[in-house]
């Protein structure tokens, strides 16, 4: 078992991707930034998910094959609520742009993954590009930002990653119950050269990872919930050939970092375009399930 080594602390006034961060991302497929969002910003984000009807109106449940449910709410565009401010703020957009180093990026989709105490299901081993490539994306030029809303530990189902696995290229995926999962034989073979690491995180920490990094998370068997906000970005030059349930190229309306704490919109989700249960079923049947 490996330890996460590409770990950095956020600095308020001068944070930007350094050559060392870029090298770590290229070599390991991720960087972990501690404290990217402070307590005030995270409390503001929690109001969106805890005080609105977002979860009750747009939450989807997916069988994990072991008697529990993975839970997700997913949308296409960032919107103007606090979660949208996070997705559009400089410290996120600049970091993703610098790490990918492929030119302009845009918001591909956002999602809340919520594992409630004792009942939250597992997410099986997969690469994001393992199924995103089916959306007519020619290149694996995408990145995901995993922002911990709650403390993420091994006991409540923190993210598990195989550092360096993005160098293996896209792995074949197959449907397992209602999730797209990387073929298990390949995962086990890759584990031997890319040892597993647990991404234990505090609220406000952010893991930036390449779309070909193999990752999973176990069920939450603890008394503590594990909620996380994930934002996916694609590059402008990798705009999907065929329109689908995630965004075509749409320029990001960027905001300063201060907008996250200053935003007071917790309930107006105009323009976000949520994935519905009907659409979710169609994507699952076509082998294009978002997990």
CATH number of the domain to which 46 belongs: 2.60.120.620
**If pLDDT is split at 50, 70 and 90, which confidence band does 215 have?**
very high
Number of CB atoms found within 10 A of residue 262's CB: 14
Q: What is the pTM of this model?
A: 0.94
Query: Is 255 inside a domain boundary?
Result: yes
Count the Cβ atoms, other than its own, within 10 Å of residue 34: 13
Q: What is the pLDDT of residue 289?
A: 41
Distance separating alpha carbons of residues 121 and 34, to the nearest angstrom = 26
- Give residue 85's domain range: 7-285
pLDDT at 282 over 70: no
Residue 2, domain member (yes or no): no
Confidence at residue 14, expressed as pLDDT on a 0 to 100 scale: 87
Q: How far apart are CA 135 and CA 66, in angstroms?
A: 28
- Number of structural domains found in the chain: 1
pLDDT score of 3: 82
Give yes or no for a contact between 189 and 154, defined as CB atoms under 8 angstroms apart.
no
Residue 134 lies inside a defined structural domain of this protein = yes
Residue 74 in any domain: the answer is yes
Instruction: Answer yes or no: is 1 within a domain.
Output: no
98 has a pLDDT exceeding 90? yes
Whether 290 maps to a domain, the answer reads no
Q: Is residue 88 part of a domain?
A: yes
Please report whether residue 238 resides in a domain.
Answer: yes
């Amino acid at each position: 078992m490996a330890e996460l080594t590409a770990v950095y602390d956020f600095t308020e006034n001068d944070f930007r991707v350094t050559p060392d961060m870029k090298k770590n991302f290229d070599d390991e497929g991720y960087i972990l930034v501690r404290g990217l969002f402070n307590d005030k910003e995270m409390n503001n984000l929690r109001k969106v998910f805890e005080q609105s009807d977002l979860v009750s109106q747009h939450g989807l449940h997916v069988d994990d094959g072991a008697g529990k449910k993975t839970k997700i709410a997913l949308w296409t565009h960032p919107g103007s609520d606090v979660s949208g401010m996070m997705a559009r703020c400089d410290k996120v957009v600049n970091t993703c742009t610098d790490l990918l180093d492929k030119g302009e990026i845009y918001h591909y989709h956002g999602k809340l993954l919520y594992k409630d105490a004792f009942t939250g299901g597992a997410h099986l081993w997969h690469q994001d590009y393992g199924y995103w490539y089916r959306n007519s994306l020619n290149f694996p030029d995408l990145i995901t930002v995993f922002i911990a809303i709650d403390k993420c530990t091994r006991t409540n189902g923190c993210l598990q990653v195989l550092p360096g696995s993005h160098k293996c290229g896209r792995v074949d995926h197959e449907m397992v119950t209602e999730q797209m999962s990387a073929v298990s034989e390949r995962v086990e073979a890759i584990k031997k050269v890319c040892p597993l690491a647990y991404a234990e995180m505090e609220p406000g920490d952010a893991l930036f990872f390449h779309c070909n990094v193999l990752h999973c998370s176990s069920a939450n068997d603890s008394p503590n919930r594990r909620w996380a906000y994930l934002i996916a970005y694609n590059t402008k030059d990798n705009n999907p050939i065929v329109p689908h349930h995630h965004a075509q190229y749409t320029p990001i309306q960027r905001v300063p970092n201060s907008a996250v704490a200053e935003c007071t919109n917790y309930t107006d989700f105009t323009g976000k375009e949520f994935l519905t249960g009907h659409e979710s079923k169609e994507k699952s049947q076509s082998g294009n399930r978002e997990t």
